Amino acid sequence: MQVHELVARCAAAAERPEPMAAVREVLEGLRGDIAAIDSALAYISGTGGNANQVFYRAPNLTLLKVRFPAGRRTPPHDHGTWATILLLSGAEKNTLYRAADRALRKASEVTLAPGSILSMRADTAHVAECVGEQATIGLHVYGGDIFTLPRRMWHPQTLEAHALDWTLYENFARIASAAQGAPETRAPAGP
Ligand SMILES: [Fe+2]
């Protein structure tokens, strides 16, 4: 597997009428090749900001290699578009939230193992965390240019919504990583 082959397959899928489903199908076909993908992406560090994660960027598609060291937990954030993760190594817990308005509502949790695929729609926010001793490495595919799309993040304690701002993000990530777990949200008011 070479990087240009991975890019070509994802870019072709992104042109299809249902790009999220088409990309998922591509990633499902790559589940048996995660060691080869991991080694093809060895030249990308995957930490220290998006510039060290991105290996393809277009108006309808961004491809990142994302590495979370042990103990790292993100603040709740969205992507401004759909997102799909293929986990390459480690164990990554994801807590998913509905983010229809500014308020978050916890929806579900899933722990990814190597070969697991997680798709998130544009109205889904998540917290990702590395569980266990080994760093997690994931191939992250997004249905737009996440460097320019309007995105949101939430304070890990107050759950106040903010526009995604990288100068604040790292501080939010530190607070999130020091917490016991991903934030809980209040159950919606009854009828
Ligand atoms: Fe994310």
Q: Which amino acid is at 165?
A: D
CA of 83 to the centre of ligand 1 (A): 8
pLDDT, tens digit, for every residue of 113-170? Answer: 999 999 999 999 999 999 999 999 999 999 999 999 999 999 999 999 999 998 899 9
So what's the pLDDT on residue 191?
A: 55
So what's the pLDDT on residue 190?
A: 53
CA of 78 to the centre of ligand 1 (A): 6
How many Cα atoms occupy the beta-carbon half-sphere of 45 within 13 Å? 7
Domains by residue range for the chain, with CATH? 3-178 (2.60.120.10)
Q: At residue 49, does pLDDT exceed 90?
A: no
CA of 97 to the centre of ligand 1 (A): 12
| Chain mean pLDDT for the chain | 94
Which of 46-55's residues contact partners 24+ apart within 8 Å by CB, and which partners? 46/137, 49/166, 50/146, 50/147, 50/166, 53/140, 54/147, 55/3, 55/7
Q: At residue 187, does pLDDT exceed 80?
A: no
Q: Which amino acid is at 163?
A: A
CA of 1 to the centre of ligand 1 (A): 25
- What residue ranges in 35-115 does DSSP mark as E strands? 54-58, 61-68, 83-89, 91-98, 105-112
How many Cα atoms occupy the beta-carbon half-sphere of 139 within 13 Å? 30
Which residues face 110 on adjacent strands? 94
Q: Which amino acid is at 95?
A: T
CA of 5 to the centre of ligand 1 (A): 24
CA of 6 to the centre of ligand 1 (A): 20
Q: For 75, list phi and psi in degrees, rounded to 5.
A: -75, 160
CA of 93 to the centre of ligand 1 (A): 12
Task: Decide if 77 contacts 125 (C-beta within 8 A).
Answer: yes
CA of 79 to the centre of ligand 1 (A): 6
So what's the pLDDT on residue 189?
A: 54
So what's the pLDDT on residue 101?
A: 77
Cα distances (angstroms) measured from residue 17 to each of 2, 20, 46, 59, 107 = 26, 9, 30, 16, 27
**Mean pLDDT along residues 76-105:** 94
